[in-house]
Structure 1
């Protein structure tokens, strides 16, 4: 109601139960965007749709209420980055533990990570080492490449060697690293649907720290 600017009756009539999640259909949000007179509200609803359909997908074609709760807190300066990390870990861990399955998360952000850290995808070095470097801006400015097929990605991932990956993000300035929380080595990384066990000591290798 806060985000959409609609009545409780309008929202209640469109919320659907999908498995263990309460969701609102993308179709309802799309129809609202097309007719809403307030431009700022249109942008907010469109941004909410991106969060629910791309960054935190749960049910295809629907936006989960947990995503709406997170989105509603963004104007209070709550950063979604730890949540994105937690949900990416959760999804990749689930696929790895079962040996199959579909990645549920923002594939575009995962692709940015690949291009930012995979040193020799095409056997050439093309990273920009600069404090002002942004992988998101680079990807947005790069024309889409259709020549790297699904099969090509499988070959790349299956044949990766340690020297093919730049474990330290090239745009990050060396700084102190938090590797424990009080007396605990294992800390919870909070996501939308649950917490993921995270061991900060593991960052010692990626960040080339002693």
Structure 2
């Protein structure tokens, strides 16, 4: 085990050396002559959906139902209990560099990776080499809903709504379905769809957007949602920075857990050892964090 650990350390060191050497030799990918600089202050809206009903449903389920969820969709339920520190989140956004699509904290560039987010979600059925690509020939939103929730077209047609430029279904309709549906597997599927729509891709508050049903449909084929989650995160951060304002449409919970994972500190311990059943999101929920640090103070710290 010690040798295996040392090999990994050596591999990481080699990767860092290669990265630094390549950067020095070839420079970066931004247009020649461009000088990287952070934009002016961004007033970002970090409004979240209310997860009280989602947490209540999850708390009512027995261990068998929860294990069925974990086995199919990973650690998503822990996201419901991760508090978004809005002061920290708004401070972080000020350090997002749209030109490089990364956070620039003084002399350090950081950006979430596919591997990191895959580890956070910890979904056993995801295949890393099968990324979600939106198909060209799509079923109608109504048909997709019917296939996912197992209800009739009449039921779906009575509840689907137009919200802005998109089509969606209210969370209240899915909540009632989860509480009443006799099929446990269907209830797990609908709860998963709801978490993706309300927590990970909260485009329309209180609603699940049509695009989320496209993604959910591919989860059953073991496609990984991580590239889509990251691309939406980067897109929203970049758009808000360029506009100087607006609501963040992405998973703030995942982004904050990722951030804290790079700033952990354990006294007199030089490395962290993770076991097979270790859950980063579970640890994040159990770890107490201060929420009395102001946005201005966070900016000074970062």
- 2:294 aligned residue (135, 152, 155): 152
Comparing 92-101 with 15-24, greater Cα deviation is found at 92-101
- 1:8 paired with 2:150, answer no
Deviations 1:52-81 (A, max 9, x none): 000011100000011011011101011011
| In structure 2, distance between residues paired with 1:157 and 1:52 | 31
- 1:29 aligned residue (161, 174, 186): 174
Deviations 1:168-190 (A, max 9, x none): xxxxxxxxxxxxxxxxxxxxxxx
- Superposed counterparts of 1:71-82, under 5 Å: 71-82=216-227
Q: TM-score, normalised by structure 2?
A: 0.47
SS in 2 for 1:76: coil
- Superposed counterparts of 1:133-144, under 5 Å: 134-142=279-287, 144=288
- 1:111 paired with 2:111, answer no
| In structure 2, distance between residues paired with 1:4 and 1:12 | 13
Count residues in correspondence: 155
- 1:98 aligned residue (229, 243, 251): 243
SS in 1 for 2:182: coil
Q: TM-score, normalised by structure 1?
A: 0.66
| In structure 1, distance between residues paired with 2:267 and 2:239 | 32
Could you tell me how far 1:125 is from its partner in structure 2? 9.0
Q: Where does structure 1 lack aligned partners over 5 or more consecutive residues?
A: 161-210
Q: Which residue number in structure 2 is paired with residue 66 of structure 1?
A: 211
Q: Which residue number in structure 2 is paired with residue 129 of structure 1?
A: 272
- 1:56 paired with 2:201, answer yes
Q: 1:89 to 1:158 in 2, by over 3 A?
A: farther
Q: Which residue number in structure 1 is paired with residue 165 of structure 2?
A: 20
Could you tell me how far 1:157 is from its partner in structure 2? 3.3
Q: 1:158 to 1:134 in 2, by over 3 A?
A: farther
Deviations 1:61-118 (A, max 9, x none): 0000110110111010110110110011011111111122222111110110110123
Please report the RMSD computed on the Cα atoms of aligned residues, expressed in angstroms.
Answer: 2.4
SS in 2 for 1:85: helix
| In structure 2, distance between residues paired with 1:157 and 1:8 | 51
Q: 1:62 to 1:17 in 2, by over 3 A?
A: same
Structure with the larger helix share: 2
Could you tell me how far 1:124 is from its partner in structure 2? 7.5
| In structure 2, distance between residues paired with 1:20 and 1:92 | 21
| In structure 1, distance between residues paired with 2:161 and 2:268 | 48
| In structure 1, distance between residues paired with 2:268 and 2:196 | 33
Comparing 93-102 with 80-89, greater Cα deviation is found at 93-102
Q: 1:80 to 1:92 in 2, by over 3 A?
A: same
